Amino acid sequence: MAGPFARRRQARKDDQELGTELWRRCNDWFARSLDRYWQVVDEARRDGSVPQDELNGLVNAGNVLAELMPTVRGLCVEARRAHPEHGLEIPQDVSDLHRVLSRAANDLATTAQAAAMFRLGQGSLDSVGRRAEKVVAGVEEAERLRPGR
């Protein structure tokens, strides 16, 4: 875990690159959903509720999802640069991008929920995989909607 000074430096960098409103929230929602996914995986690892081979599947899916974070951040930074924010008002030119990124963050949150249900024996690993695929597809769609393309 980063110390207080490192966290403060990162917060200032985030403020500069993402602002404090629309695009920062979009980025942070995705990041929080990813953090929740990893919390569920860590809980499964600690309590041993998931067999090792299936835990490896959850970790691999998490790695794929984590690789999307720099892309999401980059898209949010570019969108803010192209359309400086005015509160939470979504500029028309990037409304589709914002919608797709918001949906991807929501899909990631439901992926974490599916992983939690799987951990508790109430869902399947296939369900986690399907939801993770939706997140990947959403970020790929967002890349096609990149500002300036």
pLDDT in tens, 38-60: 999 999 999 988 999 999 999 99
More confident site: 33 or 49: 33
Residues 6+ apart with CB under 8 A from 120: 49
pLDDT tens string 95-133 = 999 999 999 999 999 999 999 999 999 999 999 999 999
Q: Coil, strand, or helix at residue 89?
A: strand
Q: Do 30 and 69 contact (CB within 8 A), yes or no?
A: yes
Report the share of the chain in percent with pLDDT over 70: 98
pTM: 0.90
- pLDDT band for position 91 (50/70/90)? confident
The top-scoring range by mean pLDDT among 23-27, 60-64, 84-88 is 60-64
Per the DSSP assignment, residues forming a β-bridge with 89 are 86
83: DSSP letter:
S
